[in-house]
Amino acid sequence: LGGLEMNDKQTLLGHLLKLLSRPSITPDDAGCQEYLANELTGMRFDCRSLRFGNVDNLIARIGTTRPILCFAGHTDVVPPGPLEAWHSDPFEPLVRDDHVTARGAADMKGSVAAMLVAFANLHSEQALSGSVMLVLTSDEEGLAVDGIRPVMRQLDDSNELPDWCIIGEPSSEKVLGDRIRVGRRGSLTGSLTVFGTQGHVAYAELADNPLRRFAPALLALLNRQWDHGNDYFPATTFEIVDLTCGSGADNVIPGELTLRFNFRYSTEWTADKLQQAVRALLDSNELRYELSWHDSGQPFLTKAGELTGVVQQSVRSHTGLDPECSTGGGTSDGRYIAPYDIPVVELGPVATSIHKPNECVSVNDLMTLSNIYRDVIDALLINRRC
Ligand SMILES: [Zn+2]
């Protein structure tokens, strides 16, 4: 490592430790954004703090012209869970060799620290042809109601919708850069109640067991091949997340059954079409039921283009890897950014430890990540050939 690189690494580690020592459990930002806004203001970014409900959000921008390259992320973290499972305090970051252990290290304060280092000296770049933006929320891990959604509406109102967006979610699988996310599956949860008639087990003819009635429909739901996926998405999956039936007594046929299930679906489906398909299946089994839905995100996809090309090229030049373009994993804030017709790519550290006890991240990886982010800025806004 050269002297400059060494300095950058110290700076990155410094930012990371400051962020990790703030216990910002959703939706509490715990001063992370204030710290970042101070740093960014010092780097000549224009910073706007937006509080919606009990959620802190930050928009920072350098440059006044288009195109706008936006980096996005969150300062909130999931709760640490049982402390006995941690080898150290989740909010007192432990630095050992190359690794930092603390809640939020990989998801995603590490990426935020890497972004900050990538933004250094942008103000002295005479040739910045466009703007760099950073958007942060503190409820990505929660409902996301007062976070990225009103922030995007605000950017739309002020005519500042980004032209490209990079989210720092931990996208890598085994080593940094082996995978980027170019889309996400949709998520749809159904809550079903099937009605029968309660009665005595010894007088089954006087009762109507809802489980007996529902069993064939459940098998059909489980066995159905919903689709075969497509070029970008794996096959749609149906999973049971809860099934409750029974009065607690051995001699009672239950009167109703409740089931909760979740679809992770490809672009072969829409939430509406899936709902219709489930209803048709239940109706064909002549069930009495009630069914309600929670739509937690439509699928989105960023097709191969300028952004994916530049990100892949930068990953390749810093890691030697050809990243897999994936649409797997859970949902992310990208689902609320992509619908504005903005290409979204997620690129961040290795995801192995996220949401677990002893969450950790490699500082060398974050330094490489920072260099990749910087390359993307250079390619899109500084060495732009147009
Ligand atoms: Zn995250």
pLDDT in tens, 112-141: 999 999 999 888 766 789 999 999 999 988
Answer whether 49's CB lies under 8 Å from 37's CB. yes
> If pLDDT is split at 50, 70 and 90, which confidence band does 315 have?
very high
Helices vs. strands in the chain: H and E counts, helices first: 9, 19
The vertex-269 CA angle with 266 and 273, nearest 5°, equals 150
- For the chain, how far is it from start to end, CA to CA, in angstroms? 34
Active site residue 341: no
Q: What percent of the chain has pLDDT over 70?
A: 98
Options 29, 139, 140, 163, the catalytic residue = 140
Ligand 1 center to 170 CA (angstroms): 7
**Ligand 1 centre from 241 Cα, in Å?**
22
> 178 alpha carbon to ligand 1 midpoint, in Å?
18
Rounded Cα distance, 96 and 82, in Å: 22
Contact 193, 258 (CB under 8 A): yes
* 8 is an active site residue: no
Say which amino acid occupies 264: R
Looking at the predicted structure, is the pLDDT value of residue 77 above 80?
Answer: yes
Ligand 1 centroid – CA 261 distance (Å): 24
User: Residue 220 pLDDT > 70, yes or no?
Assistant: yes
Q: Which of 28, 29, 76, 365 is catalytic?
A: 76
For 74, residues 6+ apart whose C-beta sits below 8 A from its C-beta are 108, 136, 137, 138, 139, 140, 141, 147, 333
Residues 6+ away with beta carbon under 8 Å from 130: 63, 65, 66, 67, 68, 69, 163, 380, 381, 384
Query: What is the structure's pLDDT at 269?
Result: 95
Q: Which residues surround ligand 1, an ion (CB under 5 A)?
A: 107-108, 169
- As a whole number of angstroms, the distance between CA 93 and CA 13 comes to 11
pTM score, two decimals?
0.85
**Structural contact between residues 366 and 114, judged by C-beta atoms closer than 8 angstroms:** yes
Q: Identify the DSSP state of 248.
A: S
Please give the pLDDT value at position 150. Answer: 96
Phi, then psi, of 253 in degrees rounded to 5: -80, 125
